[in-house]
Structure 1
Amino acid sequence: MPTRAIKAIFFTRFHHEKGSRVLHQVPEGSITPSSSPSALRTPLFDVDAIINTYIIPNQQFCDRLLAFCTNHYRVIGYPVCIREGRYSRNEFIFNFALVVEEGVSDWIAYGEVARKLGRLLRGLEEQGEFLSREEEEGRVWEDDGATGGGGLGDGEGSFGLGGGSKVFALCEMVLEDLNNYAECMIPIDDSNTINLKLFPTRAPPPPIYAHQVPVLTISLSSLHTPISSDLTLNRILPHINGISSVAHIAQLADTDLSLTRKAIQHLVYYGCLVLLDIFSFGAVYAPTAEIGGFVVDESVKEECARYVRVPRMRIGSIKPKLGSVESERSRGGTDERSSISSSSRSQLHSEHTTPSDRAPAPDFSTTSVSWSVRDADSDDEESNAISHMTLITLYTSLRQGLTLKNWVLENVELLGGIDVRRLITFGIIKGFLYRVHKYAIATSTSLPPAPPASLQSVSTSAAVNHNDVSDQATIRGGHLARIPSLVAPTANAFPHPAGERRAEEMVRLNSLVSEEREQGLPLVRFLDGMHCFDEICTELGMSERVVEGKIRGVGEVQVFSR
């Protein structure tokens, strides 16, 4: 929210004899001229020209949020009309309005404050005559100077004191607290408190797709209370790890995909997570024009170095152990150690020795390779630190046409102690990297043709014979089980061996054609150039290589990247 956005707050009343008047204004002189030493030289706008039309409008516009612009300022008010017999003309009309600059885009948040404040003051007036009581004391309608601070003297603004105006003090506190803290809590009496808060108006969240990967921007472990009571949300939160896609999360959490998408959309709306693409070493990444900001910003490079650094492994020596595995476990040493099986060790030994050197080797059934993880706070932390030039070199070497796998092979020496996935994720989140997606567009599709006419006639006659039998059974009141294939009816149609072979060939051909058509038809709807390969693979549950092979069989398809 912009700081010091509220330029003025004023309270306006309609008097049955004196008409509409501005009773209180903060700061002084912002709405009407004032003789106070701290008053503004000139008002922000001419209130006389609009007070009877927009500030104290007709009763049809009361209890509605009204906002209008004048002299490059936006006035936001909520006029209230209370109809009761104790008031003159049986009604009490007032408006508590806020003034902000016309260029404030998020003025709806201030409108909600004006709406809530108007309703709260209405309730206070109906309960204890909070607003009309100072009028009965004769303090605000004495003379024309009442349009300033309400005829207040030395006790001006002293909230709750006998010599001051509570309404004027309320205006001051609301203005200062909302401008400084975007919220306020003002006690009125022992049983009433005004609580206001500026809630920024957030843009509607984008649609959530099954192939997107959510990444949390908050730490769930730091929350003392559950983030929500929603059952779906509580089930999917443990599976949001920055790696699994939305479809995979729904599968792991055993939740409906549509409900999972709505829950993630709820988190995106409140800024609890961001959405990324599926990380793959076969993908292509390239820097954007924002890479220049990363090069010159030292704080972002320091943040990147801390985020992508991983502990280095220090490989220990191979020590064959003749004891049993149980004795090794009993001696401890399992905190930062791991063991390799004998088969892996034998394979490793055979790969690094020539046939003539393969002498009888000792028994490695209990051989272990140990390593220790270097602590980030150890003495050699500075030697393991990632230099800024290394990060710049790695990011700028990414380009279109170069897969991440080949990029890793080219820069394997610079990637020591760096998490490649975090390196790419950091660039995507900060906006100086983007994913190059692959799309497919079909210029012409050719689905598998129908079976030959001769086999179609055989299938038709077999189906007719089967239908006749079914009809006869229905007439007799009997019941026949559904036959899932064409083997049974065609066997009756061809009692000779040649006919049986022909029927079997027809069944196999039909099964192949139906299988190809079933696989080709769902794929055709993605071949319009609007669906990336990540989406196609996720929707069909296939790998990218399998999808590419099936695309070739659909027809003439052009694959492009963007």
Structure 2
Amino acid sequence: MVLNRQSLKEESGSYTPRLVAVFYAVFDPTVGPRVVHQIPEGSVATALSTIPSRSETPANELRASLSPASTASRGVDVTDDAAPRANPVLFDFASIIDFVIPKPELCGHLITKATRTSKILGFPVRIVDEEKYHGSQAVYNRNAFIFNLCFVFERDAELSVFEPVVRKTGRTLREMEEQSSLLSSPPPTFSMANLLEQLYLDLNAYCETSIPLVDTDLVLGLFPFYANPPDVKIWDVPLAVANIEQLKSYSWDVTLFKICSFIDGVNHVKRIAELAEVDLYLARQCIQHLVYYNAVIIVDIFQFSNSYAVLPDIADVAQYGEEDDEGVTDLRTECENYVFNGSRDATPVPFATLLTYYSRLRSGLAVSDWMDDLSLDTQPIDVRRMIQFGVIKGFLRRVHAFPVWLDHPTLRPRSAISETAGTAASAGANRTRRHRGSNTSAKRRLETSLDGAQPPRDAPARPQHSTLAQPASEPAALPEDDDATGPLVTYPHSLTLMFDGSHHTDEICLKYSCSWRTLEMVLRDLGSKGGRGEELESEEDEERFTDGKRRGSTGAGQEGVYGERVVMMFV
């Protein structure tokens, strides 16, 4: 989605939230939980009278808050190694004590606590050692030593990238405490204040740090967190956003190596698997991995029968640029160059004109009709790339068509189904006997087209997955009048069950390997009242849905084009 200029400024060049403060707290046997060190100083208020505020602190109050007497009264240990720094108070420590030093059951787990202005992420640690922490040789007169090193962020920050860092820091300090009492009896060469300061500065500046401890180094790094990618469907079209051919290596998975050559922004997933001669399920998994690592993005199948709608974000495209790591890119110039078809005697169409063309798209209007209305065939515009540009940038949305057959078994009352079941069965048997001899060849061609029973010998083995159509035992025939003559349009009964409003046309066409024109004929026959079917031409019988450039019939979105019993929903 295209963002406005302010959001682009805030989010450009950064995938990690900013670390606002770091503090180290322990459970003192005398005074209870307390903050020992914090960076920057004064970020966490330990006096109950301190009111949290994100506004600028006046100079006199700031000097008073950082004075030795004031910090001593709050129970905060100040060392000369720390670098005090003026910072507004984030929150009161008393309000989060139960989450920083929690009950034993919560120790050893990540804990996130949100305040009015901040979010605290910590990993409380509780070390139980009766011999070490109890008796005459005890460092603390308790049986356990409890501490927590907490990281503070803005309230709306996403902390997934920091969770491994906080967990590793807590576990490393626990090991050092168990081995050499690094925290309870620190050696002269160790300073917790210095450790906090280096954590704060290095993670904010470099997203990594290496801090030497007594016998080891605390090495931390922030890495981008990628959410799980959505499931890749057979009708999805992968579009490469990186040069995959240059990245290819013979050490890659065999399936991944094969399919990369056919990812061109036009071929859908099923077509890619067929061209690469690989298993369809494995091809989907490989493309899903490419989506996870942002090597490809998923777009829809482009057809001239598609329908698209303009989103409000197109206003941002017209007004602002897009900010990336290398600076600000002018989307207007990028759009003009992307949709230009490269004609020698022509120049790119101005962005203002393209914006006008985009605004004419609407739900239910086929791309072919949109082209005819604007006479785009006479202009140096690549229509496929023009539509694809809008989908990639997020200001165009594909409007899918969901056919609904009103006589679908799940949409009709049970009484109506039981009454018409016997009549339909007897009528179908009579029609089959009457036209068995005259329509054998045409029926066989269309059944093969829709069922896909016999693939060619050199085709890859068909994987047994739920995404493929299951062959029907007996094809269904359309009702016809007793005195009608002519061949029947037949199709598997399972195809009619797809017209319940939950499957769009891309899914249906790919599942049954049929073209959009063939599907339109089936819908018209189902939608007619007692229709006798239509005779299919031989060229249409052999059509396969193997590319995204086939034009649909005009007026596909007009009301009543499929009869009274079929309704097309655009979503």
Report the TM-score when normalising by structure 1.
Answer: 0.64
> Are the counterparts in 2 of residues 78 and 118 from structure 1 also a CA contact under 8 Å?
yes
Find the counterpart in structure 1 of residue 386 from structure 2.
423
Matches within 5 A, 1:32-51: 32=46, 34-35=66-67, 38=84, 40=86, 43-48=89-94, 50-51=96-97
Question: Following TM superposition, by how much is the alpha carbon of 1:225 offset from its aligned partner in structure 2, in angstroms?
Answer: 6.8
Structure 2 residue 164 is the aligned partner of structure 1 residue 192: no
> Are the counterparts in 2 of residues 96 and 118 from structure 1 also a CA contact under 8 Å?
yes
Question: Following TM superposition, by how much is the alpha carbon of 1:558 offset from its aligned partner in structure 2, in angstroms?
Answer: 1.9
Give me the whole-angstrom Cα distance separating, in 2, the residues matched to 1:452 and 1:410. Answer: 45
Give me the whole-angstrom Cα distance separating, in 2, the residues matched to 1:230 and 1:129. Answer: 48
Question: Following TM superposition, by how much is the alpha carbon of 1:414 offset from its aligned partner in structure 2, in angstroms?
Answer: 7.6
Moved over 6 A (4+): 452-455, 507-513
Question: Following TM superposition, by how much is the alpha carbon of 1:65 offset from its aligned partner in structure 2, in angstroms?
Answer: 1.2
Greater relative CO (CA pairs within 8 A, separation 6+) = 2
* Match 1:97 to one of 135, 150, 166: 150
The 1:46/1:275 distance shift into structure 2, 3 A limit, reads: same
Structure 2 residue 306 is the aligned partner of structure 1 residue 283: yes
Give me the whole-angstrom Cα distance separating, in 1, the residues matched to 2:249 and 2:179. Answer: 36
Give me the whole-angstrom Cα distance separating, in 1, the residues matched to 2:131 and 2:86. Answer: 38
> Are the counterparts in 2 of residues 72 and 101 from structure 1 also a CA contact under 8 Å?
yes
Find the counterpart in structure 1 of residue 62 from structure 2.
none
Superposed CA offset, 1:152-201 (max 9, x none): xxxxxxxxxx5xx5422221122223334444344547853412315446
Give me the whole-angstrom Cα distance separating, in 1, the residues matched to 2:90 and 2:314. Answer: 44
Superposed CA offset, 1:382-432 (max 9, x none): x73443234234323444555333444555578644322211100111122
Report the TM-score when normalising by structure 2.
Answer: 0.63
> Are the counterparts in 1 of residues 371 and 377 from structure 2 also a CA contact under 8 Å?
no
Question: Following TM superposition, by how much is the alpha carbon of 1:523 offset from its aligned partner in structure 2, in angstroms?
Answer: 1.3
Q: Amino acid of the residue matched to residue 240 of structure 1? A: I
Superposed CA offset, 1:273-317 (max 9, x none): 222111112323343333333333461111112322343358xxx
The 1:225/1:86 distance shift into structure 2, 3 A limit, reads: farther
Structure 2 residue 235 is the aligned partner of structure 1 residue 211: yes
Q: Amino acid of the residue matched to residue 476 of structure 2? A: E
Structure 2 residue 60 is the aligned partner of structure 1 residue 8: no
Find the counterpart in structure 2 of residue 265 from structure 1.
288
> Are the counterparts in 2 of residues 4 and 180 from structure 1 also a CA contact under 8 Å?
no
Report the 3-state secondary structure (helix = DSSP H, G, I; strand = E; otherwise coil) of the residue aligned with 1:107. Answer: coil
Matches within 5 A, 1:182-261: 182-188=207-213, 191-197=216-222, 199-200=224-225, 202=227, 204-221=228-245, 223=247, 229-261=252-284
Matches within 5 A, 1:70-469: 70-84=115-129, 87-89=132-134, 91-104=144-157, 106-134=158-186, 162=189, 165-188=190-213, 191-197=216-222, 199-200=224-225, 202=227, 204-221=228-245, 223=247, 229-297=252-320, 299-313=330-344, 384-400=347-363, 402-409=365-372, 411=374, 416-445=379-408, 449-450=424-425
Give me the whole-angstrom Cα distance separating, in 2, the residues matched to 1:396 and 1:211. Answer: 27
Give me the whole-angstrom Cα distance separating, in 2, the residues matched to 1:309 and 1:114. Answer: 50
The 1:454/1:79 distance shift into structure 2, 3 A limit, reads: closer
The 1:403/1:224 distance shift into structure 2, 3 A limit, reads: closer
Question: Following TM superposition, by how much is the alpha carbon of 1:117 offset from its aligned partner in structure 2, in angstroms?
Answer: 1.6
Find the counterpart in structure 1 of residue 552 from structure 2.
none
Give me the whole-angstrom Cα distance separating, in 2, the residues matched to 1:65 and 1:454. Answer: 69
Give me the whole-angstrom Cα distance separating, in 2, the residues matched to 1:219 and 1:124. Answer: 46
Deviates more, 1:20-29 or 1:439-448: 439-448
Superposed CA offset, 1:227-270 (max 9, x none): x9555434333322111111112222333333333333333344
> Are the counterparts in 2 of residues 205 and 265 from structure 1 also a CA contact under 8 Å?
yes
Structure 1: state its 5+ residue gaps. Answer: 138-161, 315-382, 456-500
Higher-Rg structure is: 1
Report the 3-state secondary structure (helix = DSSP H, G, I; strand = E; otherwise coil) of the residue aligned with 2:281. Answer: helix
The 1:386/1:260 distance shift into structure 2, 3 A limit, reads: same
Give me the whole-angstrom Cα distance separating, in 1, the residues matched to 2:123 and 2:154. Answer: 18
Report the 3-state secondary structure (helix = DSSP H, G, I; strand = E; otherwise coil) of the residue aligned with 1:435. Answer: strand
The 1:22/1:60 distance shift into structure 2, 3 A limit, reads: same
> Are the counterparts in 1 of residues 403 and 504 from structure 2 also a CA contact under 8 Å?
yes
Structure 2: state its 5+ residue gaps. Answer: 1-13, 47-64, 69-82, 135-142, 322-329, 409-419, 448-472, 478-489, 528-564
> Are the counterparts in 2 of residues 216 and 273 from structure 1 also a CA contact under 8 Å?
yes
Q: C-alpha root-mean-square deviation of aligned residues, in Å?
A: 4.0
Give me the whole-angstrom Cα distance separating, in 2, the residues matched to 1:201 and 1:126. Answer: 35
Give me the whole-angstrom Cα distance separating, in 2, the residues matched to 1:234 and 1:422. Answer: 26
Q: Amino acid of the residue matched to residue 295 of structure 1? A: A
> Are the counterparts in 2 of residues 520 and 554 from structure 1 also a CA contact under 8 Å?
no
Q: Matched residues, percent identical?
A: 33
Question: Following TM superposition, by how much is the alpha carbon of 1:516 offset from its aligned partner in structure 2, in angstroms?
Answer: 3.0
Report the 3-state secondary structure (helix = DSSP H, G, I; strand = E; otherwise coil) of the residue aligned with 2:161. Answer: helix
Q: Amino acid of the residue matched to residue 425 of structure 2? A: A
Q: Amino acid of the residue matched to residue 201 of structure 2? A: E
